[in-house]
Structure formats: C-alpha cells, structure tokens
Amino acid sequence: MNTLFKNKKIFREIGFVTYGRLYTQINSHSNAADIQNPESETKITNSSRGGNFIDYRRIAVHGGSGGSGCVCFQRERHLPRGPPNGGNGGAGGNVIFVADINESSLYSIPTKVSAQSGTRGKGKDMNGIRGKDTIVRVPVGTIVREIAPPNYEFLTGYDSNSFFSNKKSKDKRSNIKNRTKSEISSEGKESLTENENSDNYFGESKKKPFESALEKLHYEIESERKEVLKITSLYNFYPSKVIRDESTDIQNLPEEYLSYLHELSNQTPIQFDFDEDKQSLIVARGGFGGYGNPHFASSTNRSPYMALNGLPGQMRFLELELKTIADVGLVGLPNVGKSTFISAVSNASPRIANYPFTTLNPYIGTITLDNYKKLTIADIPGIIKDAHLNKGLGLSFLRHIERSNILAYVVDLSLPDPWTQLYTLRSELEFYKKDLTKKPSIVIANKADLSLTSKPNYQRWLEFSDIPIIPVSSKNVKNVSKVIHTLANLLEANKKN
Ligand SMILES: Nc1nc2c(ncn2[C@@H]2O[C@H](COP(=O)(O)OP(=O)(O)OP(=O)(O)O)[C@@H](O)[C@H]2O)c(=O)[nH]1
Ligand SMILES: [Mg+2]
C-alpha cells in the first residue's frame, strides 16, 4: 500500500504541495508528551499573511502501514533446530494535527498527508522500527470534519463489514452493480443507473473514467486494502511452507490485532474544533505491526512457520475550515478606517490606503490590557450592500467574526447619514447568519477629526441610537483608548453571563 503514496506521479496529479512548512515528521518515539513539549520538532514558520491566505481545504490523510512480522529460527552450529526468533513488525506512524497560535492560514497544508510506515521485523528477534509520526500544524480556529471520499459510490462496491470474510472478492464490476442497486440509491447520493455501469454490445464499459487523481488514489488504496484484509493475506508464511490449517483461523488472531481491524472498519467520523493552542488530535492512526513467529509457538507447535503481516493505516478524507477566533470582530463598509483602527490599537499592521477593498484577508490584532489580560480583534475585508448576492468580496469572510464575542461596527462618521451604514451592515450580517447581530455590539464612529460633518452627524445620531457610539479618530489615535476600555468591560460582562 505504501508504494502508492510514494508514487510521485499521483502526488503531482492531485497537486501535492511540497512547501512542507506546516508539515514535518518527528522522531519515532513521539507521543502526546512530545507534542506538548515540541523540542524535538523543527521550528516552522508560516508567512501566509500575503496572498497565500486560504481558509478552506479538502485533504486526504493516511497513517503509515505496519511492518510485517518475520518467520525465522535460531540456527547455530550446536543448535540446528533452534527456537523461533522472528521479530515483530514496527507500527505505522500516525498523522497528528496540532493547533498552533502562530499559524494563520491553511495554505501550507498539503492535499495529501501520510505518515511513515513501520519496517519489517527481522531474524534474531529484531523488531521493526516504528514509522515516524507526521505532525501538521493547523491555525487555532480550524474545524476538521470528515467527508466521504470523492465519488466514493461509483468507485467500488467495497463493503467495510466484509473485512473478515474469507470469500474470494467478486468481480469489481459486479460489485459496483450490486452497490448501485441497493446501497447507493438508499443513501440518496449521486447515483448511477444500472445501465450506466453495464457493458455495451462491444464489451466496452460505459463507466466514467476517474474524474480526479484523488478519486483514482482512493480507488487504488481501497482495492489494496481489501486485498490486505482478506484473512489469508493477514498471515506471512515461511517460503515453501505454506500451510493453511486451522491455526490461520480468525479466532487465533491476537485480540489487539482484531480490535484494530475492527476499528479500521468502524471508524467514527471526525468532527473536531481546534479552539485552543497546542490542542492535538490523531486524525489517521498508523497500522498495527505484525507479530513475528515466536508469537505462534505453543506446546503443540514449536516451530511455527507463520507470522502476521502489518495492517494498513487509517485513511480519511477531511475538510478543514478556518474560523478565526477573536474576542472582537470589526465590521464595516470599505474604506471607513477599520485597518487604521486596528493598527492604532494593536500589534497588527495591515495595509491602509484610501481606496475600497485594501484589506483582502482577515487580520488579528492583540492588545495587552492594563491587567495584563489580552484582547484580540479581527479586521476583515469590507462588506457592501448586497454582499449576500456576492457583491464586492461577498460574505464568506464573516465566518471569521462569527465566533467573536463582541461586534464592533466601524462607520465613517463624516459621510452623510452615517447610521445608514449600520443598517446595511446589520442586514448583511443577518443574511449571512440569523441572529448574528444579537451579539453585544458598539459603534466605532471613525473619522471624527473631520469635524465639519462628523460633529453634527454625531449629535443627531445620539438622539435615536440603540447601541453605544464612540467617536474616534483612528488616524490621529484620538479617543481609541475609550473604545478599548468599553470593549474590555463588555467582554468581561459577557464572560460572566
Ligand atoms: N481623516 C481620517 N482619515 C482616516 C481615519 N481613519 C482612516 N482614515 C483614512 O481612510 C482611508 C481608509 O483607511 P483603511 O484603514 O484602509 O480603511 P478600511 O476600512 O480598512 O478599508 P478596506 O480595507 O478597504 O475595507 C485611509 O486613507 C486612511 O488614512 C480617521 O480617523 N480620520
Ligand atoms: Mg482594511
């Protein structure tokens, strides 16, 4: 199976990215403790602030295969028929996701992530080496969901419950037919009619070719997995001593081996939210290493000529979605001064210019308050009227403020009737997600330094406003500390509730 992943052509076809900055392998003894104390890992930085911001991605993850156990006997001059001494195979490495506060984009995560396979056991009781784990750093705020493999239903009639069946696998095409009739239609997914699968008069299949390399990869892996999981192929026999007696029965398999097989066939779908730094999750477990022949020695069979093969690692298809988590989300029309505000109050330094849509990616700024607590603010691209109809940059960026505790509407106070900006923003937010505007909110009335128009606007607005309005001049850094204190108090009150 592992050879499949080494197939560079496939990697190229599915767009395997070799940037590898988020993607590193750590030594074979990695465990949860290592993750918490990542000294053994390479320091990775990700400068994805520029044009490389990606907040949605679909990837495939694959744990390493386990190495096979070895069939071997001790042979010395004085000991011609010594005891069995074949080593166990090494387990495959796991693919582990770790949340990292320094990451801000899913850009560097490759389409296909696999962990190293374990090596085979050898004679003289030499166990195989465990495959290295692969650690993928994901930004805090990433949501991981398991998805069905691409076009899963038309690829194969693979039935995960038939792992233990000893029957010869049926013809692939008949499998597809069987599945088409019953399972696919009941699942209600994209279904193929029987006619589409059957051969025509010239014996040519009308089945569509693989539409993407990822589908092809999945098909190959699944067929190989099926092959591996046939009971006879679980065993590794001594050459020319192939014995298929009752000792190769399913009942004789070690319990941990069986439970791993069971786990492989009954994977619970992953749904995980990385909302804290250093949180980690094994997304694809490495395969079990097979036992060497000493494991099968008994009082009746002192020279077992069989060992166990390693098992394949878990294969999963995942959907990653980044929803930035900040305490405060800034929302405003383009060019009102959101980025100027965030750069005036925090460590963020987004681009500022006098034209709309200067900001194209979300930015997070951190402010250290008097009591050494931290307040994070998210600046997102500007929203315009009818953004829900995909005008401007659309509304997808709202996912980054969706989980903020507080909303801060930034308006340009110098424009005529500035409150209309607030109406527009609120209605667009409601279009995106119902009740989003019910979060505690304030209005940052920016450009108050342009007092000729701003001052009368402010006076009029105060008379009917339903939320606090704070006039500021972000450009001249005037009154911004009042905004920060109001936000900090609101946050405190909000957390207590
Ligand atoms: N007079 C005045 N100008 C300001 C103030 N704040 C921002 N500006 C100017 O307004 C323009 C837009 O500022 P940005 O911070 O880029 O605005 P933005 O809301 O981030 O814009 P987008 O990223 O395009 O949505 C710049 O030319 C700023 O110099 C202010 O308080 N007073
Ligand atoms: Mg901006």
Which stretches within 1-151 are classed as H helix? 2-6, 8-13, 32-36
Give bridge partners of residue 390 from the DSSP assignment. Answer: none
Give the mean pLDDT of the chain. Answer: 74
CB-based contact 458:411 (threshold 8 Å): no
Query: Measuring from atom 27 of ligand 1, which residue has the nearest CA?
Result: 354
Region 443-472: what's the mean pLDDT?
89
Q: Which atom of ligand 1 is nearest to the CA of 476?
A: 31
Ligand number, closest to the Cα atom of 343: 1
The token pair that represents 132 in the structure block: 């290295």
Torsion, Cα of 181, 187, 189, 190 (10° steps): 0
Element (H, E) at 2: helix 2-6
Assess whether pLDDT exceeds 80 at residue 30: no
Atom from ligand 1 closest to the CA of residue 355: 24
Which of the pair, 82 or 264, is modelled with greater confidence? 82
Write out the DSSP string of 406-423: EEEEEEETTSSSTHHHHH
Q: Is the shortest distance between the CB of 361 and ligand 1 below 6 Å?
A: no
* Best mutation site among 331, 336, 340 for ligand 1 pocket (most ligand atoms within 8 Å of CB): 340
C-beta 334 within 6 A of ligand 1: yes
pTM score over 0.90: no
Residue type present at position 346: S
> Domains (ranges, CATH) in the chain?
8-19+40-158+245-321 (2.70.210.12), 324-494 (3.40.50.300)
Ligand 2 centre from 102 Cα, in Å? 21
- What is the best residue among 349, 475, 477, 480 to mutate for testing ligand 1's pocket, by most ligand atoms within 8 Å of CB? 475
Confidence of residue 310 (pLDDT cuts 50, 70, 90): confident
379 CA closest ligand 1 atom index:
20
The pLDDT of residue 41 is above 70 = no
Q: Considering only residues 156 and 481, tell me which one the structure prediction assigns the higher pLDDT.
A: 481
Residue 352 CB–ligand 1 contact under 6 Å:
yes
Q: Is 13 helix (H, G, I), strand (E, B) or coil?
A: helix
Helix axes 338-345, 480-496, angle to 10 degrees: 80
Q: Is 105 in the pocket of ligand 1 (CB under 6 A)?
A: no
Burial of 287 (0-12, 13-18, 19+ CB in 10 A): buried
Please give the full DSSP string across 194-244, using - where no structure is assigned.
Answer: HHHHSB-TTS-B-PPPPSSHHHHHHHHHHHHHHHHTSGGGGEEEPTT----
Burial of 269 (0-12, 13-18, 19+ CB in 10 A): exposed
What's the CA-to-centroid distance between 370 and ligand 1, angstroms? 27
Beta bridge partners of 441: 407
Residue owning the nearest CA to atom 1 of ligand 1: 447
- Residue carrying the six token digits 């995909």: 390
Q: Is the CB of 137 under 6 A from ligand 1?
A: no
Tokens 């250093």, located at residue = 278
Q: Which two tokens stand for residue 303?
A: 């020279």
Residue 44 CB less than 6 A away from ligand 1: no
CA-based end-to-end distance of the chain: 53
- pLDDT band for position 200 (cuts 50, 70, 90): very low
Tens digits of residue pLDDT in 211-234 = 555 566 666 666 666 665 555 567
Give the tokens for residue 302: 């002192």
Rounded to the nearest whole angstrom, what is the distance from the C-alpha of residue 354 to the centroid of ligand 2?
10
Q: Which ligand is nearest to the CA of 363?
A: 2
Name the H helices within 278-391. 338-345
* Complex-level ipTM beyond the 0.95 threshold: yes
